[in-house]
């Protein structure tokens, strides 16, 4: 049977950032896959080898969607290397921001996935609710996207009772909308026909390729960096949410379920947080090496730094979640119908600006 080579990318309507797949087809079935990264390097790691106070703002620009967790992971390295104390209240405020960012990221992605299969109503609904969450982050930090909120030793601003009450009201409305989204994802025939049983990744394949984050938990693997107990997560007593399907539908559903969990974690934070300082002053240099990891919306985010006792860092290394998640697609796409390729790639929530920096 004759084979056809079809390029997918580097520009494609379903992808916000460039990547190039080379697909080999027999009629409509994919029988060969290769892909190319490297379309958008920005040199952020090298640029961050400077005064660590300035480097924070570079690191949070690795990704606009999850800028808060990038600055949090970088600052976590600084605090570990510099033995910098952090007040308990600051730990809670950081956790609230990280969970708001997770809700915002998951709602954004679910909307994009709905749009990819032609479900415009669900797309508009999720993005409307996402706007309310982004407004909360702006009220908390002063910025909608690049928050500049997390600093070595604490956070830049506090949350008063009025803002906390407003946040809980907004999150109640978001939770109600997420229930509708979960119902649609579970029962809508269009979504189920397009997503269920497509792009199946079992536990063995997931573990062999080191897939992480919601994509891993969508295969039933109960693992989450937050359970290691950084920031306020060590006081919140929760378990990772999982699904067992391992297909495109499960990767949609797991993000909706994690939205519910994030709302509950924020409620616990507001219930448990106590008055106190939000910042410990630190003006020294960073000496030695440190590594730190956080659970970003897409999975484990890893940072490494090396200091020489001054304010300027000698080395900054970042590993974003998409790099771990992307490799499996070379095997996962084999045997799929060509029409399912865009949604299957999208189901991993790839971020190539994170990956290539």
pLDDT confidence of residue 332: 85
Rounded Cα–Cα distance for residues 116 and 13 (Å): 9
Take residue 304 and report the two structure tokens written for it: 């490494």
**Contact yes or no for 123/115 (Cβ under 8 A):** yes
Cα–Cα distance, 263 to 267 (Å, whole number): 6
| DSSP string covering 118-179 | T-HHHHHHHHHHHHHHHHHHHHHHS-SSS---EETTEES----HHHHHHHHHHHHHHHHHHH
Q: Residue 316 is part of a domain; what is its CATH number?
A: 1.10.645.10
Mean pLDDT confidence for 132-139: 92
The rounded distance, in Å, linking the Cα atoms of 147 and 320 is 19
Please compute the mean of the pLDDT values over residues 109-118 and round it to a whole number: 83
**Residue 347 contacts residue 199 (beta carbons within 8 Å):** yes
Q: For residue 2, say if its preceding peptide bond is cis, omega within 30 degrees of 0.
A: no
For the chain, the domain total comes to 1
Mean pLDDT within 48-66: 87
Q: How confident is the model at residue 158 (pLDDT cuts 50, 70, 90)?
A: very high
Q: What is the mean pLDDT of residues 167-177?
A: 88
Tokens of 225: 């960096």
285 CB burial (10 A radius; 0-12, 13-18, 19+)? middle
Domain around 93:
43-323
Judge whether residue 51 has pLDDT over 80.
Answer: yes
C-alpha–C-alpha distance, residues 3 and 8, integer Å: 16
pLDDT score at 86:
94
Query: 265 with 238: CB under 8 angstroms?
Result: yes
Is 27 part of a structural domain of the chain?
no
pTM above 0.85, yes or no: yes
Q: Which residue has the tokens 């600055």?
A: 71
Low-confidence winner among 131-135, 136-140, 220-224, 337-341 (lowest mean pLDDT): 337-341
Q: Give the residue from 294, 7, 266 showing the smallest Cα distance to 150.
A: 294
pLDDT (0 to 100) of residue 38? 76
Which two structure tokens, joined as six digits, stand for 44? Answer: 């952020």
Best mean pLDDT range from 43-52, 239-248, 264-273: 264-273
Q: Is residue 339 part of a domain?
A: no
Q: What is the mean pLDDT of residues 122-149?
A: 89
What is the average per-residue pLDDT within 261-290? 91
- Say yes or no to pLDDT of 115 above 90: no
3-state secondary structure of 335: coil
* pLDDT for position 103: 94
Residue 343 lies in a domain: no
Is 199 a domain residue? yes
Q: Is residue 293 part of a domain?
A: yes
Residue 1 has pLDDT above 70, yes or no: no
In a domain, 60, yes or no: yes
Res 25: pLDDT: 85
Least confident of 26-30, 147-151, 206-210: 26-30
Q: In what order do the strands lie in the sheet with 20-26?
A: 3-8, 20-26, 29-36
Q: Is the pLDDT of residue 60 over 80?
A: yes
pLDDT, position 166: 92
pLDDT at residue 16 greater than cutoff 80: no
In a domain, 79, yes or no: yes
Say if 166 falls within a structural domain: yes
Percent of the chain with pLDDT over 90: 39
Q: Determine the pLDDT at residue 295.
A: 93
DSSP state of 347: T
Mean pLDDT of the residues in the chain: 88
């Amino acid at each position: 049977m004759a084979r056809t080579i079809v390029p997918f990318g580097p520009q494609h309507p379903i992808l916000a950032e460039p990547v190039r797949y080379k697909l080999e087809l027999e009629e409509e079935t994919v029988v060969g896959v290769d892909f190319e990264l490297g379309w958008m390097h920005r040199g952020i790691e090298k640029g961050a080898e400077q005064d660590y106070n300035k480097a924070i703002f570079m690191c949070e620009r690795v990704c606009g969607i999850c800028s808060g967790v990038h600055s949090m992971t970088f600052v976590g390295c600084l605090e570990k290397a510099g033995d910098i104390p952090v007040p308990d209240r600051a730990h809670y405020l950081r956790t609230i921001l990280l969970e708001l960012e997770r809700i915002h990221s998951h709602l954004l992605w679910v909307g994009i996935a709905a749009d990819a299969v032609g479900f415009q109503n669900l797309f508009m609904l999720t993005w409307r609710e996402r706007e309310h969450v982004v407004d909360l982050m702006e009220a908390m930090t002063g910025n909608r996207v690049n928050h500049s909120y997390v600093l070595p030793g604490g956070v830049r601003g506090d949350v008063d009772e009025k803002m906390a009450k407003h946040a809980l009201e907004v999150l109640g409305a978001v939770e109600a909308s997420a229930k509708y989204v979960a119902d649609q994802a579970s029962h809508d025939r269009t979504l189920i026909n397009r997503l269920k049983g497509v792009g199946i990744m079992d536990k063995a394949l997931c573990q062999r390729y080191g897939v992480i984050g919601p994509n891993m938990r969508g295969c039933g693997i109960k693992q989450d960096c937050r359970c290691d107990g950084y920031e306020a997560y060590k006081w919140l007593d929760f378990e990772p949410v999982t699904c067992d399907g391992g297909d495109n539908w499960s990767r949609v559903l797991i993000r909706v379920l994690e939205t519910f969990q994030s709302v509950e974690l924020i409620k616990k934070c507001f219930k448990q947080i106590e008055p106190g300082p939000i910042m410990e002053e630190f003006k020294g240099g960073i000496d030695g090496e440190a590594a730190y990891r956080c659970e970003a919306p897409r999975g484990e985010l890893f940072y490494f730094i090396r200091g020489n006792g001054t304010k300027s860092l000698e080395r900054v290394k970042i590993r974003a979640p998409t790099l771990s998640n992307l490799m499996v697609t070379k095997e996962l796409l084999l045997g799929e119908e060509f029409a399912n390729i865009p949604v299957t790639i999208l189901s991993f929530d790839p971020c190539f600006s994170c990956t290539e920096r």
